[in-house]
């Protein structure tokens, strides 16, 4: 056989390989897979590959039809709009791309759904949510602490803004602790890939919406976390970001359309990109100027986070399908949506509506960082908004009440200061469509620790936590609150707020999981929260009972939660000297002479006047013996 014939054979083999193996031609197809049986039987596939727009795709599979093919502005994208018939069977099939007499094949899969849509039960007021910053909670797998090929290799626990090594395995390893503390759900901050050059630990600059950050683990580990939570009757809430991506996102090097991100032309020309003015009130303001609206909607959150343009219909579909993909893949018990007022608000209504249409018992909470209850209430489903806006959002975050609780405990008692802030703040519930579905918290990953906000006063911190757990709300507690973690050294510093959980790393001298090395104050706070949470877990009165409270008087605020034969009483007392509480004022509660129990100490008492309160703090009582 001569050399010329050998060359022809080799060229033929190369051509055959290229014609059969699309992975050599196509970089990605998203969503990665899909499912049969959705109410919305449309699916849009993003196909990325060099000059793929020149190809003509076809699918031969019963029940699947290509309805249209759309090209992007870049020649390296195709968007396939598919229709999936109701009776389509799960299975794998080839998407065949015909290009220049070649056939390029990509294997795609339609899966069967593991459970009915109605069985995706979201979080509600019976839950207590543990918020975790995964990089700072526990290191369960040291092998993935640093991953070759990623930009950020700054592993150093001594530096607040470097990676510390916490991961999904670390959370899985300590589910016993979380469960035994009395939490019923966890909300980890984003676990998707943040291939950024610095500060990649926090997770909010996503560079691949379908990939788990390998420093946190694998998709299989994420699924395992979800499954182990379900086995315990607990829920997994996913932190999602619709407003922006990370500047190193894979599509930033080859954007599909000319308007895929906001201010795209300026970005590509390396001109100044305007930042958001963060004036979230323009979403409701009757008098807002157009320039203020534009800066809020189109301005980038920060330089490193390009602002996604949800008004582009392909981007809108991409985000909606991505959320649904994760709900199905993980069997989620809820979504927390970051920076809710920043994306296009009509899109956010469509996004939440699409999810709730598919999963009628699901829950979504949106972050609106405002202490004005009118602004927070605007975003909740059922709000009677003057502009007619319908959000489809089940839950919002109660920044107003969080602000009121801190003020109430830090201020002196006067006519319009102190505990009256909680009393009058709760009175604003008349405005909310569903107060019970609002999420309340003493602090979170973006604000000073509650122990810091209250001047490292343990008594005040207990009062704050009790209030959060007793209000008609969904409570969220940030990891380490039970151990009095503080950022007092640099108040408000995000790296310090997100400090390591003691005991999450081999060699830690203090271990919050086992109690080893904890101070007496830390043990006391951990025990207090554990008692309160575990009582709350079984309390129907707190979950869905009637709320009755009495105006603060003489430095004391009393709130009742009542359902059937269970009454729970919270007494907040700011007096530093012993005080006699006249119980005749509360006759309408019909508790006279009833036996009760202190929820924290288990001590029995009889409800008869007067009730002596010996010291400043909180008293939690129940008729449930």
> Angle at the Cα of 481 (from 410 to 568), degrees rounded to 5?
70
User: 124 and 437 in contact (C-beta within 8 Å)?
Assistant: yes
- Cα→Cα distances 233→95, 182, 184, 226, 361, Å: 40, 12, 7, 11, 16
Q: Is 358 a catalytic residue?
A: no
- How far is Cα 79 from Cα 317, in angstroms, rounded to an integer? 11
- Kindly calculate the radius of gyration of the chain based on its CA atoms and give it in whole angstroms: 27
Nearest CA among 327, 319, 346, 355 for reference residue 46:
319
- How far is Cα 106 from Cα 33, in angstroms, rounded to an integer? 12
User: 51 and 254 in contact (C-beta within 8 Å)?
Assistant: no
Q: Is 265 a catalytic residue?
A: no
Nearest CA among 202, 241, 186 for reference residue 495:
202
Residues forming a β-bridge with 59: 95
Strand order in the sheet with 439-440: 235-236, 185-188, 129-132, 474-478, 439-440
Phi, psi at 88, each rounded to 5°: -65, 135
Annotated catalytic residue, options 248, 338, 443, 500: 338
- How far is Cα 569 from Cα 598, in angstroms, rounded to an integer? 10
Q: How many CB atoms lie within 10 A of CB 587?
A: 10
- How far is Cα 625 from Cα 622, in angstroms, rounded to an integer? 7
Dihedral sign for Cα atoms in the order 240, 245, 251, 257:
positive
User: 85 and 37 in contact (C-beta within 8 Å)?
Assistant: no
SS3 content of the chain, % helix, strand, coil (to 5): 30, 25, 45
Annotated catalytic residue, options 127, 208, 239, 367: 367
- Cα→Cα distances 548→56, 123, 545, 567, Å: 66, 24, 10, 11
State the catalytic residues: 338, 367
């Amino acid at each position: 056989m001569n050399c010329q014939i050998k060359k022809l054979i080799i060229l033929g083999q190369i051509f055959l390989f290229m014609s059969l193996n699309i992975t050599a031609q196509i970089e990605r197809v998203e969503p990665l897979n899909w499912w049969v049986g959705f109410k919305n039987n449309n699916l849009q596939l993003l196909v990325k590959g060099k000059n793929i727009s020149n190809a003509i795709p076809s699918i031969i599979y019963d029940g699947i039809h290509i309805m249209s093919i759309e090209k992007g502005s870049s020649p390296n994208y195709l968007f396939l709009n598919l229709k999936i018939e109701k009776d389509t069977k799960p299975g794998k099939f080839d998407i065949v791309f015909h290009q220049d007499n070649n056939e390029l094949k990509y294997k795609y899969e339609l899966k069967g759904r593991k459970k009915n849509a109605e069985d995706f039960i979201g979080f509600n007021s019976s839950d207590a949510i543990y918020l975790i910053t995964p990089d700072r909670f526990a290191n369960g797998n040291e092998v993935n602490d640093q991953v070759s090929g990623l930009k950020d290799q700054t592993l150093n626990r001594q530096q607040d803004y470097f990676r510390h090594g916490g991961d999904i395995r670390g959370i899985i390893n300590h589910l016993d602790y979380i469960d035994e503390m009395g939490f019923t759900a966890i909300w980890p901050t984003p676990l998707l890939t943040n291939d950024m050059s610095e500060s990649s630990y926090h997770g909010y600059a996503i560079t691949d919406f379908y990939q788990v950050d390998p420093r946190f683990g694998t998709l299989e580990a994420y699924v395992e976390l979800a499954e182990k939570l379900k086995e315990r009757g607990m829920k997994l809430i996913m932190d999602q970001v619709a407003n922006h991506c990370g500047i190193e996102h894979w599509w930033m090097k080859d954007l599909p359309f000319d308007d895929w991100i906001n201010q795209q032309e300026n970005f590509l020309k390396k001109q100044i990109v305007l930042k958001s003015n963060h004036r979230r009130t323009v979403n409701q303001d009757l008098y807002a100027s157009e320039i203020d609206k534009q800066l809020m909607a189109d301005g980038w959150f920060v330089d490193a986070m390009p602002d996604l343009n949800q008004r582009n219909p392909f981007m809108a579909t991409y985000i909606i399908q991505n959320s649904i993909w994760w709900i199905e893949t993980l069997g989620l018990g809820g979504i927390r949506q970051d920076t809710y007022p920043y994306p296009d608000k009509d899109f956010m209504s469509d996004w939440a509506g699409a999810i709730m249409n598919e999963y009628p018992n699901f829950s979504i909470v949106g972050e609106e960082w405002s202490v004005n209850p009118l602004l927070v209430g605007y975003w909740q489903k059922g709000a009677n908004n003057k502009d007619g806006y319908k959000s489809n959002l089940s839950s919002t975050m109660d920044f107003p009440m969080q602000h009121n609780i801190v003020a109430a405990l830090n201020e002196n008692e006067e006519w319009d200061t102190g505990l009256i802030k909680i009393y009058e703040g709760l009175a604003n519930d008349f405005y909310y469509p569903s107060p019970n579905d609002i999420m309340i918290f003493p602090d979170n990953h973006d604000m000073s620790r509650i122990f810091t906000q209250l001047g490292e006063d343990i008594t005040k911190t207990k009062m704050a936590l009790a209030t959060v757990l007793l209000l008609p709300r969904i409570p969220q507690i940030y990891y380490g609150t039970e151990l009095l973690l503080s950022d007092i050294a640099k108040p408000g510093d995000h790296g310090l707020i997100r400090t390591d959980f003691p005991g999450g790393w081999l060699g830690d001298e203090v271990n919050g999981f086992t109690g080893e090395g904890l101070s007496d104050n830390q043990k006391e706070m951990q025990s207090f929260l554990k008692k309160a949470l575990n009582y709350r877990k079984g309390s129907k009165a707190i979950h869905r009972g009637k709320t009755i409270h009495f105006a603060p008087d003489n430095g004391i605020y009393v709130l009742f939660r009542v359902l059937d034969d269970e009454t729970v009483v919270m007494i907040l007392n700011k007096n530093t000297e012993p005080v006699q509480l006249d119980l005749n004022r509360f006759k309408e509660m019909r508790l006279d002479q009833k036996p009760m129990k202190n929820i924290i100490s288990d001590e029995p008492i009889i409800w008869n006047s007067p009730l002596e309160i010996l010291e400043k703090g909180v008293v939690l009582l129940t008729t449930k013996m």
